[in-house]
Structure 1
Amino acid sequence: MSYPNYGPSYYGPPPQTHPNGTTILVLGILSLVVCAILGPFAWNMGTKALREIDSSGYIYENRGMIQAGRICGIVSTCLMLAVVGLYAIMFVFFGGMALLGGVSSSL
């Protein structure tokens, strides 16, 4: 007598959901769209959550959400640092020109 195959069977507990998965994804997306200052928080929380997942030995079903939020946080942080660096360079350049008299203020 043969039994029908109903798909893969799991030996052990069913996959769990990491409690911070949705928060990390939302922070990552908001850091790209609305406020870049949220990027480092998404990056940090995502890294911690991935370490917890790797060290726990359990299967989590929302690992992809955590990775996506972390990557969005990394991209947002890098863009924010690039913009801050650009502003710093412009400040030094135009400030130096003003100090050296390169920009005339008389009309």
Structure 2
Amino acid sequence: MTYPPPYDPPSNDPLRKRDPSGDDQGVSGPPPADPGYTPQPDFQATNFDYGQQQYGQQPGYQQPGYQQPGFPGAYGAPVSETNSNAIIALVCGIGAFVICGLGAIPAIIFGNRAIAEIDASGGRQDGRGMAQAGKIIGWVAVAMWVIGIVLFALIFIAAAASSST
């Protein structure tokens, strides 16, 4: 079985590999330089003084430093965290509609507790809106339960009165 001869690219192919022995069919030396590029002499960095003071040279001037420990917020303001009772109040309030009103009373209790803790924290805690929303939703769920119980009682009384006559 005979194989075809290996591929030999034409001599004017720019991607043709050069022969490491130096015989490159008349081409020797490095490739020609780009005609638009002229090498510049080595640039020497110079300290140009335009009459401006450098940092730390003015009397009484201090460079701005990092924030002081204990104030992790931007511009030195303390970071406030959300009160966990406020989150619990909101979750229980929403859950009151999902699990037939069982979360209504805890939503009211945790909402009141969260609001008291937020007021006593002096701005270190937030979440007052969530606590109020949880408390309001809890009261709405309680009101719906009361209305439902009253309607059920009225229907039961009406049904008992109509069947006895």
Q: Normalising by structure 1, report the TM-score.
A: 0.70
Between structures 1 and 2, the one with greater helix share: 1
Cα offset, 1:38, TM superposition: 1.4
Cα offset, 1:90, TM superposition: 1.3
What residue ranges of structure 2 are gaps of 5+ in the alignment?
1-73
Secondary structure of 2:125 counterpart: coil
- 1:22 counterpart = 2:87: yes
Contact 1:27 1:38 in 2 (8 A): yes
CA distance in 2 between partners of 1:95 and 1:10 (Å):
71
RMSD of the TM alignment (CA)?
A: 2.1
Equivalent of residue 49 in structure 1, options 104, 114, 127: 114
Percent of aligned pairs with the same amino acid: 32
Give the length in aligned residue pairs.
92
Q: Normalising by structure 2, report the TM-score.
A: 0.48
Higher relative contact order (CA 8 A, sep 6+): 1
Kindly name which structure, 1 or 2, has the bigger radius of gyration based on alpha carbons: 2
What residue ranges of structure 1 are gaps of 5+ in the alignment?
1-7, 103-107
CA distance in 2 between partners of 1:67 and 1:94 (Å):
40
CA distance in 2 between partners of 1:52 and 1:91 (Å):
44
Point out 4+ residue stretches in structure 1 off by more than 3 angstroms: 8-11
Equivalent of residue 156 in structure 2, options 71, 74, 91: 91
